[in-house]
Structure 1
Amino acid sequence: MAYAEKRGKSWRVRYQLPNGKYDSESGFETKQDALDWGRAQETDVQRKVFVNPSDGRKLFGEWVDEWRQVMDVGEMTQQTYGSRLNAVILPKWERTPIGDITSMSYRAWQAQLKAQYKKNYVDAIEGLMRMLLDDAVDEKLIPFNPMPAGSKRKRGRHVAVDTGDEYVWPTPRQARLLAENARLLRGDQWAVMILTVAYTGLRMGEVSGLRRDQLNLLGLEYGKSLRVQWQGQWLTEPAKHTVSKGETLETIAALRHADPKRAEDVAAANEIEVGAKLRAGQKLRLAKGFTLLPPKYSSYRTLILPPFLGDLLSELLAANSHDYLVFPSQRGKPLRVDDQFYGRFWHPAIRGQDEEPSRRGRPEQAALPAVEGLADMVPHGLRHGHKVWLDGQGHPRVAVEERMGHKLQGVEGTYSHTSPEMELGIARGLQEAWEKSLTDEVDQTAEWRERRSS
């Protein structure tokens, strides 16, 4: 039962907590104010909605440490969350009591984020912050999430929202021209990589993690396929692996790192010998660096290839010397989409470059024409283009989304299914798109064929 005590010129109230113990709050001007406040807390205790005011004094950084301990997400998501927390969120809020984060202080920080970063990144930061504060509400550290609701009407002047399409995506002809530039720049493998993304819709992680054993290139004209089984990612923290029967450190390194020589790194991460005998079900830490992980959203899928792409991939595997990966880097290592990838390959391929002679150890640089209309396209734009092509050809939505690695929600997702005829129809539509791209400009078609034969 709440009761009030005189303390100097003010009043203190003591009230009962859910565990039966008493807590107190000071600074009330009158006895009645103190009693009203204390009785309100005890009413919340009875209604099981009580939030202890002292819990709100926990520092935000302390809450993040606790939250990380129970976070159950994949390795890539864990790394992404850690990066956003360390780079943006914690520098601002780490030493702030979680109960002192107000709507106004959050809005001021939000304005700073929008001035400093691109919209997609700001949205990602806000999504993580909302998750942290929602979980704090669930744990009764704070009574409500101070972040403004997205649909709530805001004061202030109207700000126009850009509703334009954020991604630049190619037509089949533009994808072909980009592939031609990629071939001149780095060789056949890079041309085939561009066309593979454009005509399968793979994510770049799925491209870098595409293993030779995921390609089935034998069979009839439309019998060739590609299995999406892994995505390749560069991790700063070790991933985990559950040992299957008969596996060794060498086979695990070959499977998850695409390099059996990295068995020594896996052994070091687990403080065991390279030749140690493993048991089925044993949990291992993999090495840091390039690692093959399950595809995003566990979107395993098998894609029927248009015949032209199956032929190009067959030729590539015959010429490619890497034991595991279909698209390794120039030096035979796992592909990394970093600043060097953009500066030395992607940007010259889409924006063109001037011819430069060889000098001071640098190889000569072939002149490349810019692919008109693609100057601002990122690699993910090829995946967007794939979706646009399939929608434009009128394929069933369920088949398109399944090929993209998406799952339909609601009733449509429950009752819609992709048939073999739908998959075959997509492959035929993509083959027609490729053949049409070759006839869009006859002179460039001849040039493409001449380049392939040279």
Structure 2
Amino acid sequence: MPYIEWRGNKCRIKWWSGEYLANGRKKYESKSGFDDEETAYTYGLDREYEVRHGTRMATSRSDLLMDEYGSEVWLPDQDLRPGSVKRYRSILKAQINKQWDRRRVNEIETPEYIAWKNALHQKVERKELARTYVDDILMVFGMLMTDAVQRYRLRTDTPIPPPTPRRGRFVKKVRKKKRPLAMGPVYQLAVNAYTVWGFTGWTYIWDAAFQGMRPGEMFGLQKVYAAPAWPTSEPDREQRKEFQERYARMPATRVQFQHQWVDGKKTLTAPKYDSHRTLVQAPFLTAMHTALAASHTSPWSFPSINGGTLLGASFGRDYWWPIRDGAPAREGLRGLPRPAIPPVEEFAVGGWPIYRLRHWMKECLEEEGHSDTAIETRMGHELAGVKGLYSNLTLKMEQNIVEAQQERWEGFLPGSRRPVDATVSHSSPSRPDDGLIFPGRSPGRRGCQVSVRFTAPGAAPRVVARERSTAACSRFGQHVVASTGWRAQSGHTYLLAAGSRAVTGIEATGAVRASAAGRTLAVRAPANARAQVSARLTGGGTLAEVGRAAED
């Protein structure tokens, strides 16, 4: 029972707090300032009622301020991924603490919360804040108040009123309008990326557009998890055997990590939502990755301009913004002159992030009629409900994606039946097939002639192999393999080889000995080295290379 003590002309009430001291004695709480004993005694009875019914809020906790509670008590107790911790801390510092920092947790009332919420929505209407950002602010504040009541007993109830349907003015959620996007603008991005970042940038844009990886996943992509090295280079022995059985003849990239800052250190963490997955590659993209892997010694598939990690670079300022928005010509900045870069209107208007390429990949897959299972698995999502429980990504689904993406690429190339769907400004390279070998057939005056062209970055295309009256000229001769020597900007020389669709592996003998699964081969070789190249076909046969033309 509570008891009363008089102190001067005021009385004080004391009651048991429901807790015990370290010596086993009961711990009491008190309140002073009452003018009469009846009021004080009633107050003490109410406090003991709260103790008995589990609704008591400790006096020692009632003085906790919002900035201390959010940053020092609540956030460290959350089981979150590094990216979420960083975002929540930013919201606490920039918005919640700015509004409520010196207020006690148990002092915030419902009218104050509603006024703050309305002020945030007004900022959205004035386009000072994004609606998604305001939704995140209110979500974090809601979690703070819910845990203050249920977990930490800092309040008896939450100041956030329960949602009531059909109350208040209806406000339609406005989404950023996406402009229709085709291959032309994406190609212009790739051309701009080549100017900014070299062949790494060229490959990066096409990889983002056709693989749909998240930026952090691309930052953390290592050569051992990308074609042509993977799946042979898979570190896990059990998974390696499984992957080799499935992807031996269908090159793919393994999304195993993303690169993030964790406590101020660059760290490889699991992909978002633990969405480890395998992304099959169209042959044209495998050819790019093969040439890219041979062009540098970094363990990362996409090193930065100075050879380091992309995570440590200012990706927006130094990479994406000039690629998207264009940039004027510059002369000799640190010995690196650069021509003018044209803007890509479809991305520059509205300031779209590079994430738009991931959305575009999904749009293309839907247009091509692929199943929800194939699309969402490639995106790194899970289908909800029974549909997700019974679905499974099959090998046929992956093959369909490879064929569709290769067809889309070949349909865009100059000389195909489908016209290029946008005007492209060229600074470098000069054609969409730069750095790759594309076998093709052309009629000659005396019968058929098979010729193969190669276009190096920044150079004019040249014929590297030519042969007349070969079996490939017949209606059944649909298989071609060819090779050429190439000197990279680094000064290293390479033997490059590529084959048509039915090629499953390439082998070089003679002065250069090497082999590779898939349609492409890139290997360091001495200058002017003579090698004989042959290919393995889908049906199990072999194919000799088309005769080399005299090199310039």
Tell me the TM-score range normalised by the shorter chain. 0.7 to 0.9
User: Counterparts of 2:44 and 2:170 in 1: how far apart (Å)?
Assistant: 44
Q: Does 1:142 align with 2:167?
A: no
Following superposition, the deviation at residue 2 of structure 1 comes to: 5.2
Secondary structure at the counterpart of residue 312 of structure 1: helix
Answer whether contact 2:29 2:59 (CA < 8 A) is retained.
no
Following superposition, the deviation at residue 22 of structure 1 comes to: 4.3
Following superposition, the deviation at residue 136 of structure 1 comes to: 1.3
Secondary structure at the counterpart of residue 160 of structure 2: coil
Instruction: Please point out which of 63, 70, 82 is paired with 2:69.
Output: 63
Answer whether contact 1:169 1:377 (CA < 8 A) is retained.
no
Q: Which amino acid aligns with 2:175?
A: G
User: Counterparts of 2:327 and 2:333 in 1: how far apart (Å)?
Assistant: 19
Secondary structure at the counterpart of residue 311 of structure 2: coil
Instruction: Please point out which of 105, 115, 122 is paired with 2:134.
Output: 122
2:411 is matched with: 436
Answer whether contact 1:13 1:34 (CA < 8 A) is retained.
yes
Q: Give aligned pairs, total.
A: 398
User: Counterparts of 1:67 and 1:306 in 2: how far apart (Å)?
Assistant: 47
Secondary structure at the counterpart of residue 395 of structure 1: coil
Q: How does 1:78-97 map to 2 (within 5 A)?
A: 78-97=85-104
Q: Does 1:366 align with 2:339?
A: yes
Structure with the larger helix share: 1
Q: Does 1:186 align with 2:160?
A: no
Secondary structure at the counterpart of residue 358 of structure 1: coil
Answer whether contact 1:222 1:424 (CA < 8 A) is retained.
no
Following superposition, the deviation at residue 388 of structure 1 comes to: 2.1
Secondary structure at the counterpart of residue 359 of structure 2: helix
Following superposition, the deviation at residue 300 of structure 1 comes to: 0.9
User: Counterparts of 1:59 and 1:360 in 2: how far apart (Å)?
Assistant: 51
Structure with the larger strand share: 2
Q: Which amino acid aligns with 1:352?
A: G
Q: Which has the higher contact order (CA 8 A, sep 6+)?
A: 1
Instruction: Please point out which of 397, 417, 420 is paired with 1:422.
Output: 397
Secondary structure at the counterpart of residue 374 of structure 1: helix
Q: What TM-score do the two structures reach when normalised by structure 2? A: 0.63
Q: Which amino acid aligns with 1:365?
A: R
Q: Which amino acid aligns with 2:363?
A: V
User: Counterparts of 2:48 and 2:141 in 1: how far apart (Å)?
Assistant: 31
2:84 is matched with: 77
Q: What TM-score do the two structures reach when normalised by structure 1? A: 0.75
Q: Which moved more, 1:304-313 or 1:51-60?
A: 51-60
Q: Which amino acid aligns with 1:327?
A: F
Following superposition, the deviation at residue 207 of structure 1 comes to: 0.5
Answer whether contact 2:14 2:28 (CA < 8 A) is retained.
yes
1:249 is matched with: none
User: Counterparts of 2:380 and 2:34 in 1: how far apart (Å)?
Assistant: 59
Q: Which moved more, 1:396-405 or 1:83-92?
A: 83-92
Q: How does 1:172-251 map to 2 (within 5 A)?
A: 172-217=183-228, 223-235=250-262, 237=263
Instruction: Please point out which of 412, 421, 430 is paired with 2:387.
Output: 412
* Deviation sequence 1:62-112 (CA, Å, 0-9, x none): 323123443333333333333333343334433321101222333444455
User: Counterparts of 2:30 and 2:3 in 1: how far apart (Å)?
Assistant: 10
The verdict on how the C-alpha distance between 1:165 and 1:145 changes in structure 2, with shifts beyond 3 A counting, is same
**Can you give the 5+ residue segments of structure 1 that lack an aligned partner in the other structure?**
238-287
User: Counterparts of 1:360 and 1:414 in 2: how far apart (Å)?
Assistant: 56
Instruction: Please point out which of 314, 335, 353 is paired with 1:378.
Output: 353
User: Counterparts of 1:178 and 1:92 in 2: how far apart (Å)?
Assistant: 42
* Deviation sequence 1:185-215 (CA, Å, 0-9, x none): 3321101101111111101011111000001
User: Counterparts of 1:230 and 1:333 in 2: how far apart (Å)?
Assistant: 17
Q: Which moved more, 1:415-424 or 1:167-176?
A: 167-176
User: Counterparts of 2:78 and 2:284 in 1: how far apart (Å)?
Assistant: 45
Q: Give the CA RMSD over aligned residues.
A: 3.5
Following superposition, the deviation at residue 51 of structure 1 comes to: 3.4
* Deviation sequence 1:17-38 (CA, Å, 0-9, x none): 3336543456678876666655
Instruction: Please point out which of 150, 157, 174 is paired with 1:163.
Output: 174
The verdict on how the C-alpha distance between 1:74 and 1:352 changes in structure 2, with shifts beyond 3 A counting, is closer
**Can you give the 5+ residue segments of structure 2 that lack an aligned partner in the other structure?**
20-25, 230-243, 436-454, 460-552
Answer whether contact 1:170 1:381 (CA < 8 A) is retained.
no
User: Counterparts of 2:330 and 2:185 in 1: how far apart (Å)?
Assistant: 28
Answer whether contact 2:227 2:289 (CA < 8 A) is retained.
no
1:350 is matched with: 324
Following superposition, the deviation at residue 227 of structure 1 comes to: 0.5
User: Counterparts of 2:342 and 2:36 in 1: how far apart (Å)?
Assistant: 81
Answer whether contact 1:217 1:224 (CA < 8 A) is retained.
yes
